Structure 1
């Protein structure tokens, strides 16, 4: 039976007058793999910093099993000196650990995929995924008893995330991870801790189990509330009948002692019922409220022709070829997921299809009725100096009262209270900016949606609402995403860029991956026979 590794008791954190969270209580066991979830801004990263000893709680305590328990913390954005190389970072960590190092820098380099060339690249030239792996390698050298991973799937491609899943599952000690990647959580989490401003609720199982249990608990609370309110109304009706009977009996009794006594007993019964009602109201709870989430409904598109894009012998290169000799069509109503490793050319393919770049080889035909709405990964089209309201209104060709009213409705639907509408966009978090970009997408009558990493920086409730809206949309969608949950549940066709070519598969993400594994098995079998 596993032992308790740490216990968190009545933890609270405030910044000035603002309380981020309070009444946080939970335990972690040795060897456990758990996930911390919650909406943006609820304090997940703050809680991690407290657990790692980098910040102090306002109230409460974090108690470890013993003084010898070690903790490794991977922040969202790992920092290294700009000129530091992977070799230098890991060698310095090995020297600092001394006899406590569980492996050598050379072993860490090999295990975490740093080849000779990559190992000597300055950190400023490493990709986001490489920086994440380097930070994990540095932590792995000490093999801490508790591993805290804050959004570790950021910047990782599918192969990188699959590698990370194996790393977390095989890690010999306790892991607590913050992630908005639902597929990843399904693969690695054995327990979900949901953080809210009022504490933590624990759910056994992975992400899907958590969603089912949370919905079942909400429905049970709603039934309990409904039954209690029904009982309150029944008792109030009984009190009303008893009081009316008492008043009528009291008037009829006059000076007759027998009837006056009978009326008095009726009044006592009414008083007892009133006390029962008061006790029931004291025990009753407020009506449970569903978690606040964005309200997202995509306008149904204006019909394009049956064929939206046609690529013929398409290819593109920068310093090296990304892909070549690609032939495919995208038809009206198709929802196409574009996948591939980092640097394969996914965003470039979107820009080629939209005509924002010219191909090195081949050509792209577009339907003359094309009106694409493009959500860029880095949201370059946002003017960060504009206010929230003006940043959305600027898309309208003419500012009419109706346009302003629809804009205000969308801002409220996306959980922007009116007091925030005058904030500059640069003061918003990345998640809030992503919501602004989605609002801008909804304001104009586009007939094709082109989305580059649309779930980046969105919390779990927002991702689910976006997924629902995309599933219900009747038009054509092209989406680049590392969110496998989104690709699987929305897309009906897959374009995979790998090995300088584009594979086209008419099916879901899971069907494509099964087909790909089958193809690789056949190829390996042929290699063995030859």
Structure 2
């Protein structure tokens, strides 16, 4: 069990954590939530030993290995697969020892240890994790130096997952992932046998991965059972109960004070009045759950323009002459469009947005824009372009010199940047505050269309909700790229899929897209025919093996086994996979039949309300069962 008692940590004299206590049992997955600056990342650094507390204790079992994301991969010349394999330091040390050992007894110990920790499957496990995070077989053999910082962070995450620590510390692990990789990670973490402390602002991830939520607020920590939605509901209920009790106590106090005020100077009632005063003094105030002030985000409303805003005819676009990323695009954007772009990273989503923003010119075809069109473009990498020595008000003055000072401050206020933040140097702002500054800059001219490329990175959950509300209140067009399914579902009413060099409308919602991803993975697994995936039991076995590493010494892996001889799928797993696939197929057929029935006009005639409700109920039930069956299949196939 991880135990934290009376933990206090200060930065420049300000208490970030104050006598905070919490415990997390072995095998539990705990989510750390709270406003930006509440101390979530600080707590992970204190647990990992990167920071040292001012007072209090952090007790981690001595046998536990603590894993955290490596911020910088050291050897850039290594292939991705080698970078991930190297994360298992026990394996690396034993491999070296195995090459030089001469004592027969020690050699036997090394190979016994290798068997215990399933070292023979190390390469296949590493490859499976990399594939889940978006690296195909060819990419896994390329050197790390070939990849940008965001992709290198994916490799670092793969290394952390592969090392299978007893306590995994994850700080915003989805920030550099696309939606497809996020869904894979969600499934992987959900089944992870070890203990997890997860800092995330992704509501879906918190709901599906964690079984305990720790809320950091005003220097303290309170633990709640369940995911984020459970936490919100319980916290709201606690607030309501505390407010009701506070009102009751306040009413008692007022009633007794009224008696005192009336009879204090009346001789016959003086003793009773003094008694009431003592009772008032004993009434303890109710400590209400802090109802933290929310962040407001509000985009200025644009001038109304006639449709279309942008027309694209047979356009191709890319970065190198003769090598378009996207080809033959035929699309149109209107003022009321709310569109989310789907597709794996590298397929061209950001390229498409840069085309709309005017950052890239068409290589072929024609793109026409409304004469008065103003475009607001947000990209997360723009934080690197901010002047760290300037304040937000200075940055805004340079970007909008025609605006009066009061107007500049008012515009920053639209994005939760009050007087204190507006006069603070950008270098000292939190990641969320920098993101809101970028939103303020891109919307300073009341654009007719918002182009948002991962706008929610570094925003806390409340700020993300404020962003959703701002998008829904905005009267112009919006194009969004996001790995946050919740943001997409609440703010987009159309989905476009960027894939195979094109951009096409996706006929369905996010649940349909999840099903498509699962189906594509299923077909891919069928076609690969390269041996079985690692057994689902391998992760728990690996974690258990590492727990006893101190007694057995470093771990070793034998020479790579030919692909045909790698770990085979057990008969039980084969049967479970077959049953899961059969269930998905049957439920899909049932859903098709029900939807065909619901599409029959006769069902809606002659007052058939009862029959209609019956079919609608069946539709909801089967859809729910299908979603569960698909998730089961995905978990089994992911191993």
TM-score normalised by L of structure 1? 0.84
The alignment status of 1:165 with 2:186, answered yes or no, reads: yes
1:78 to partner: Cα distance? 4.3
1:200 to partner: Cα distance? 0.8
Alignment check: 8 A CA contact 2:380 2:435 kept: no
The alignment status of 1:393 with 2:393, answered yes or no, reads: no
1:131 to partner: Cα distance? 3.0
Superposed counterparts of 1:313-332, under 5 Å:
313-318=314-319, 320-332=323-335
Rate the CA distance shift 1:505–1:379 in 2: closer, same or farther, 3 A: same
1:442 to partner: Cα distance? 4.5
Mapped partners of 2:150, 2:390: distance in 1? 32
Alignment check: 8 A CA contact 1:305 1:369 kept: no
Mapped partners of 1:121, 1:518: distance in 2? 28
Rate the CA distance shift 1:395–1:17 in 2: closer, same or farther, 3 A: same
Alignment check: 8 A CA contact 1:387 1:425 kept: yes
1:164 to partner: Cα distance? 0.9
The structure with the greater share of residues assigned to helix is 2
Partner of residue 172 from structure 2, selected from 140, 148, 151: 151
Alignment check: 8 A CA contact 2:28 2:211 kept: yes
Rate the CA distance shift 1:197–1:81 in 2: closer, same or farther, 3 A: farther
Q: How big is each residue's C-alpha offset from its partner over 1:109-141, in whole Å with a ceiling of 9 and x where there is no partner?
A: 322235554334332323456434433443445
Alignment check: 8 A CA contact 2:409 2:422 kept: no
Alignment check: 8 A CA contact 2:66 2:166 kept: yes
1:369 to partner: Cα distance? 2.9
Mapped partners of 1:183, 1:189: distance in 2? 10
Higher relative contact order (CA 8 A, sep 6+): 2
1:143 to partner: Cα distance? 2.6
Rate the CA distance shift 1:162–1:287 in 2: closer, same or farther, 3 A: closer
Rate the CA distance shift 1:216–1:368 in 2: closer, same or farther, 3 A: farther
Alignment partner, residue 344 of structure 1: 347
1:488 to partner: Cα distance? 0.8
The alignment status of 1:18 with 2:14, answered yes or no, reads: yes
SS of 2:224's partner is: strand
Q: CA RMSD in A?
A: 3.0
Alignment partner, residue 189 of structure 1: 210
Q: How big is each residue's C-alpha offset from its partner over 1:10-38, in whole Å with a ceiling of 9 and x where there is no partner?
A: 11222352322122211112221221122
In the alignment of these two chains, the number of paired residues is: 497
Q: How big is each residue's C-alpha offset from its partner over 1:268-294, in whole Å with a ceiling of 9 and x where there is no partner?
A: 1111112222222xx113665521332
Partner of residue 198 from structure 2, selected from 177, 193, 197: 177
Alignment partner, residue 535 of structure 2: none
Rate the CA distance shift 1:197–1:125 in 2: closer, same or farther, 3 A: farther
SS of 1:305's partner is: coil
The alignment status of 1:428 with 2:429, answered yes or no, reads: yes
The structure with the greater share of residues assigned to strand is 1
Q: Which structure 1 residue ranges, 5 or more long, are not aligned?
A: 248-263
Bigger mean CA offset, 483-492 vs 313-322: 313-322
SS of 1:450's partner is: strand
The alignment status of 1:81 with 2:75, answered yes or no, reads: yes
Alignment check: 8 A CA contact 1:128 1:156 kept: no
Mapped partners of 2:493, 2:346: distance in 1? 24
The alignment status of 1:36 with 2:53, answered yes or no, reads: no
Q: Which structure 2 residue ranges, 5 or more long, are not aligned?
A: 96-109, 527-580, 586-639
Partner of residue 110 from structure 1, selected from 127, 137, 140: 127
1:455 to partner: Cα distance? 0.8
TM-score normalised by L of structure 2? 0.71
Alignment check: 8 A CA contact 2:29 2:211 kept: yes
Mapped partners of 1:286, 1:141: distance in 2? 45
